[in-house]
């Protein structure tokens, strides 16, 4: 008997209707803590994807005419509902990702913050005016929506990353087709239900499910104007090249290898506390996780305390309040992390803590990896070069801040980095010279709030306009420049002149 037949099916959301797919191809959705299948997700047909795009295109014609304050009020209503259902959404995230309660709640809250920023859309879409660029001639710019936008989102933040995308795009006057990760489709559907409840018109948001074949349909569709993506480096490169090759505007967020530099004058108690959480939180499955610590000079004396700190944390089920993090998303993800740990040992790194044989009582089939710490790591080793995406921290030692900055700048990724120090001069040199888009000073994970933008650099990002904040509005809009002249004889006069305001 086919197990998938008895599982609840995840619907598509097309033209304002939650509908079952007509496809014959389905994938299981699995709870990674138990390895139990909890739902089945369709690989949408070509006709279903085309219908979603067509519906979004038709909805755009009326949605673009909705006044900006009304679009802002929709976002205010939506953020209110998201707050009301915050804990429910977090529980849903835990069921399909295995995240513990704190991580899942943070996932939802960071998404809510972006929706709140989308409610400020009117001020973000203001143009510019210069009077008298020539005699009696004025020039001004208008910010206008593009049309149908699309988002392709990963498994690790099922609420936050979709909410990075479609609220800002829709608030700016566009419509949106979302393709969430096939591993975590349930949260996206619930987000759409709440968006509809908030008053979103039919067709403004569409959701289709699938894998590479469905992504390619979206990338090749002529009516889709923009593509937003978050995922691995190879896929980001493919999305960017394919999307731009078909004339689309693309922002593709890729991999990361985030370094924390620890200076000898840093508060080592704070270093250990922040470093452990940023390395293993969310099982290391986040693009802003600290996966490399660079110990400068005598800062290497922190290693025993770091080893002790990491040895005291453990993974567990989402309802385990003592667990620091949950399982990896899949058996394949676990196998990849274990293979890299094995490679690190084989290449000569010192495995201070080995989480390869981790087990969690009552969950024998979960995808568990314990906290893992390496010292004596060299830049040539695979555990340094590759994004592990697991609860693995590698330690390198250098003699100076200059060497640390050079090390980071040689790494192909440039997503996030941080420095822990008591020296303002060291912090100033670091933030000025490091070639990384997001920098923390005594902050381990420098993710900006949504009134700024998420700004990965180099191999961590393909494109030129980043997520949320002002850059997202620029990404989802086009600027129109108007140069106008009115002649004196056009001024109406007389008793019959009437001004109508609406």
Any idea which residues carry the catalytic annotation?
Answer: 287
What gap in Å lies between CA 363 and CA 33, rounded to an integer?
A: 7
What gap in Å lies between CA 262 and CA 268, rounded to an integer?
A: 9
- For the CA atoms of 288, 292, 296, 299, what is the dihedral angle to 10 degrees? 90
What gap in Å lies between CA 230 and CA 251, rounded to an integer?
A: 9
Alpha helical stretches, state H, 64-119: 68-84, 86-97, 101-118
Q: Give 448: exposed, middle or buried? Use CB within 10 Å, 0-12, 13-18, 19+.
A: middle
What gap in Å lies between CA 235 and CA 339, rounded to an integer?
A: 21
- For 233, the token pair is 């480096």
Q: How many CB atoms lie within 10 A of CB 492?
A: 8
What is the 3 state secondary structure string of 39-74? EEEECCCHHHHHHHHHHHHHHHHHHCCCCHHHHHHH
Alpha helical stretches, state H, 125-228: 160-171, 185-197, 212-220
What gap in Å lies between CA 102 and CA 107, rounded to an integer?
A: 9
Q: Which residues contact 407 (CB under 8 A, 6 or more apart)?
A: 259, 294, 379, 396, 398
């Amino acid at each position: 008997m086919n197990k998938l037949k008895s599982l609840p099916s995840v619907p598509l959301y097309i033209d304002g209707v939650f509908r079952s797919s007509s496809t014959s191809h389905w994938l299981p959705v699995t709870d990674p803590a138990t390895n139990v299948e909890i739902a089945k997700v369709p690989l949408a047909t070509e006709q279903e994807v085309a219908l979603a795009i067509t519906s979004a295109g038709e909805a755009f014609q009326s949605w673009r005419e909705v006044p900006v304050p009304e679009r802002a009020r929709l976002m205010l209503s939506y953020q209110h509902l998201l707050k009301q259902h915050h804990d429910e959404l977090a529980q849903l995230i835990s069921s399909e990702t295995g995240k513990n309660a704190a991580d899942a709640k943070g996932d939802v809250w960071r998404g809510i913050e972006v929706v709140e920023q989308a409610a400020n859309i009117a001020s973000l879409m203001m143009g510019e005016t210069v009077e008298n660029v020539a005699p009696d001639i004025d020039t001004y710019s208008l910010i206008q929506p593009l049309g149908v936008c699309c988002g392709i989102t990963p498994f690790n933040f099922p609420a936050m990353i979709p909410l990075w995308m479609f609220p800002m795009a829709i608030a700016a006057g566009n419509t949106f087709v979302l393709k969430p990760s096939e591993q975590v489709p349930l949260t996206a559907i619930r987000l759409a239900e709440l968006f509809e409840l908030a008053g979103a018109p039919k067709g403004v948001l569409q959701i289709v499910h699938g894998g590479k074949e469905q992504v390619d349909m979206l990338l090749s569709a002529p009516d889709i104007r923009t593509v937003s993506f978050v995922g691995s480096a190879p896929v980001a490169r493919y999305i960017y090249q394919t999307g731009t090759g078909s004339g689309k505007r693309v922002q593709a967020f890729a991999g990361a290898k985030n370094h924390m530099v620890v200076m000898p004058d840093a508060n080592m108690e704070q270093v250990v506390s922040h470093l452990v959480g940023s390395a293993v939180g969310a099982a290391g499955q986040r693009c802003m996780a600290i996966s490399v610590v660079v110990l400068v000079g005598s800062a290497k004396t922190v290693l025993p305390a770091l080893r002790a700190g990491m040895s005291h944390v453990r993974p567990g089920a989402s309802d385990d309040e003592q667990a620091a993090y949950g399982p990896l998303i899949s058996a394949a993800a676990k196998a990849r992390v274990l293979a890299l740990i094995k490679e690190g040992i084989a290449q000569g790194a010192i495995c201070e803590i080995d989480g390869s044989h981790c087990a969690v009582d009552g969950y024998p089939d979960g995808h568990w990896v314990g906290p893992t710490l390496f010292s004596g790591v060299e830049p040539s080793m695979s555990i340094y070069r590759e994004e592990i995406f697991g609860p693995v921290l590698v330690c390198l030692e250098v003699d100076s801040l200059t060497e640390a900055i050079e090390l980071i700048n040689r790494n192909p990724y440039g997503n996030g980095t941080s420095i822990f120090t008591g020296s303002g001069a060291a912090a100033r040199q670091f933030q000025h010279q490091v070639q990384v888009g997001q920098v923390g000073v005594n902050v381990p994970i420098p993710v900006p709030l949504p009134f700024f933008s998420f700004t990965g650099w180099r191999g961590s990002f393909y494109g030129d306009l980043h997520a949320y904040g002002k850059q997202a509005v620029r990404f989802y809009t086009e600027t129109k420049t108007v140069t106008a002249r009115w002649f004196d004889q056009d001024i109406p006069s007389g008793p019959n002149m009437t001004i109508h305001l609406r």
